[in-house]
Structures are given as C-alpha cells and as structure tokens.
C-alpha cells in the first residue's frame, strides 16, 4: 500500500463564514440577542424606532449577505451604503462603543468558533468606527 501523495496543485475547498456558522439562522439569532440588549440600552434605545422588527430583519439580511450568504439584503434594500443610511442618527464614540459592546456580547454567545468570532468582532469594530458621524 502506497500512501496518496499530498495534493499540492489543487486548492483546498474553502467555505464562507456564512456556511461555517450554519447560514441564516445564525444571523437571525445574533441579531435577536443584539436587539434584546439594544432594548435595554439607555444610550442606543432612543436612536431606534418604536418598532424594532423591520430593523432586525434588515440587519440580519445584510450580515448574512456580507458573510457570503444570498444577496437578499440588496434585493430588498439596494446598495447597502451604510454610512449614508446612518447619517440621520447622531453617532459619537459613546454610541459606537455601546453598539460594539452589545454586538460583541451577542457574538460571544453565538457558538461561533474562536476564529469566526474574532473575524466578526474585528469587522464590527471597524465598521462601527466608520459610522461615527458626530465628533465629540
Ligand atoms: C455605530 C453604532 C451604530 C448605531 C448607533 C446604529 C444605529 C442604527 C439604527 C438606529 C438603525 C435604524 C433601525 C431601524 O430603522 O429600525 C440602523 C440600521 C442599520 N444598521 Fe446600524 N447602527 C450602528 C452600527 C452599525 C454597524 C456597525 C452595522 C453593520 C456592520 C450596521 C448595520 C445596519 C443596517 C444594515 C441597518 C439597516 C439599514 C437599512 O436597510 O435601512 N449598523 N442602525
């Protein structure tokens, strides 16, 4: 019996984070936990509308799309243009930090692998910093 030679000419199949975490249900759960915290957050709650359900669906669809899932967000909402969509909310460092803290907790409770959790958190920290529109 000769061992199979290692295959050095064909790339290993890669998977998206969306696939690794189990697809859409992961993002729905993440956003549910995040919004549960927003509801109790004195800094963030006033920025959000009375009805939180449409925002939840938009955020979950956006994140699923961003991490390699189907483009349902763009089909429904068009180009994300996140900075433009956030200009009507005054976002300073306090709001950014509150948002990130709540989302990091939601990620830590998600069951994602340490590497995937790290990738999600790095992304959220960077994206939230980009959305600061009110220097204090
Ligand atoms: C920096 C702190 C942030 C604050 C204070 C904030 C606040 C908000 C608020 C108030 C809404 C409207 C929700 C609604 O109409 O029901 C919203 C929508 C949204 N946010 Fe944020 N957000 C922040 C950061 C982020 C980040 C980091 C992301 C993405 C990684 C994000 C993605 C979205 C998306 C996709 C929507 C829906 C946009 C749409 O289709 O209308 N936000 N955000």
pLDDT at 85: 97
Distance 128 CA to ligand 1 centre (A): 9
- Name residue, tokens 């998600």: 110
- Per-residue pLDDT of 47-64, as tens digits, reads 999 999 999 999 999 999
Atom of ligand 1 nearest to the CA of 132: 1
- Ligand 1, atom 10, lies closest to the CA of 48
Of the chain, the percentage scoring pLDDT greater than 90 comes to 88
**What Rg, from alpha-carbon coordinates, does the chain have?**
18
Q: Residue 56: enclosing H or E segment and its boundaries? A: helix 53-66
Distance 112 CA to ligand 1 centre (A): 22
Q: Is 133 helix (H, G, I), strand (E, B) or coil?
A: coil
**DSSP structural state of residue 11:** P
> Dihedral (C-alpha) 123, 128, 131, 136: value to the nearest 10 degrees?
-140
Atom of ligand 1 nearest to the CA of 55: 16
Measure Cα distances from 112 to 17, 27, 96, 100, 130 in Å.
9, 11, 23, 17, 25
The whole-model pTM stands at 0.91
Angle between helices 114-130 and 93-108 (to 10 degrees): 160
Other CB atoms within 10 A of residue 10 CB: 6
The ligand 1 site (C-beta within 6 Å) comprises: 44, 47-49, 54-55, 58-59, 62, 77, 82, 85-86, 89, 91, 95-96, 99, 124, 127-128, 131
Determine the Cα–Cα distance for residues 57 and 110; give it in Å rounded to an integer: 18
CB 110 within 8 A of CB 26: yes
- Name residue, tokens 């998206």: 16
- Per-residue pLDDT of 61-110, as tens digits, reads 999 999 999 999 999 999 999 999 999 999 999 999 999 999 999 999 99
Atom of ligand 1 nearest to the CA of 54: 16
């Amino acid at each position: 019996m000769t061992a199979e030679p290692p295959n050095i000419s064909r790339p290993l199949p890669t998977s998206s984070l969306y696939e690794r975490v189990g697809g859409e249900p992961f993002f729905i759960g993440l956003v549910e936990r995040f919004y549960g915290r927003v509801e109790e957050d004195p800094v963030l709650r006033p920025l959000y509308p009375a009805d939180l359900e449409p925002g939840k669906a938009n955020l979950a669809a956006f994140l699923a799309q961003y991490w390699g899932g189907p483009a349902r967000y763009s089909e429904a909402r068009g180009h994300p243009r996140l900075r433009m969509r956030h200009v009507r909310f005054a976002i300073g460092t306090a709001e950014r930090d509150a948002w990130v803290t709540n989302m990091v907790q939601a990620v830590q409770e998600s069951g994602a692998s340490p590497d995937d959790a790290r990738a999600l958190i790095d992304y959220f920290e960077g994206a939230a910093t980009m959305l600061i529109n009110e220097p204090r």
